[in-house]
Amino acid sequence: MKLQAGDALIIVDLQRDFCEGGALEIPDADATVPVINGLIAEADAAGVPIFASRDWHPPGHASFRESGGPWPAHCVQSGAGAEFHPDLRLPERVIIVSKGEAPERDQLSAFDATGLADRLRGLGVRRVVIVGLALDVCVLETALDAALEGFETHVWLAGARALTAEGARDAVKKMRKAKVVIEKD
């Protein structure tokens, strides 16, 4: 698959807290960086819009265990864990999409109350390629929402990792059922 006019690259939550040594480490997450950097270079050369979503939680967010949620505190606004992976080569023109800012609820999808669908349509995007973390949580929800919004949606598995192998299998099944194209190489 080659990125071209009418496409957009969406990088989901490639942040320090989801990578090696982070507060909510996803196994083998660091291995996605070279793959994603290759896609960024391809998108940049083709003039394709590049979006990077980030969890951007206020302290005490509802999703944190301390507040009764399922996750350890992670990606707290302006903290080191919320920074993008240090080896990720985002161009200056990248469009950052912050999610999870509402203190009382989680926002797993990069489309959830962020205006992303309208921004993509405004740029004439018809097809999205999604990579990032975690395949079985935020990548899954972003892909499902992209498909619901009417975009031809592709998830590049080499550029994504899941919390668990079982979660990865379930996510792929759910995405295929929603007509998301799963790219394996």
To the query of whether residue 13 is one of the catalytic residues in this protein, the response is yes
Out of 55, 106, 136, 138, pick the active-site residue.
138
Structure tokens at 51: 């979006």
Structure tokens at 31: 């291995």
To the query of whether residue 138 is one of the catalytic residues in this protein, the response is yes
32/184 Cα distance (integer angstroms): 13
Cβ-contact 15, 75 below 8 angstroms: yes
To the query of whether residue 75 is one of the catalytic residues in this protein, the response is no
Conformation bin of residue 33: beta by default, left when phi > 0, alpha when psi is -120 to 50: alpha
* Residues pairing with 119 in the sheet: none
Out of 75, 99, 112, 136, pick the active-site residue.
99
115/12 Cα distance (integer angstroms): 15
Out of 7, 13, 55, 106, pick the active-site residue.
13
Residues serving a catalytic function are 13, 99, 138
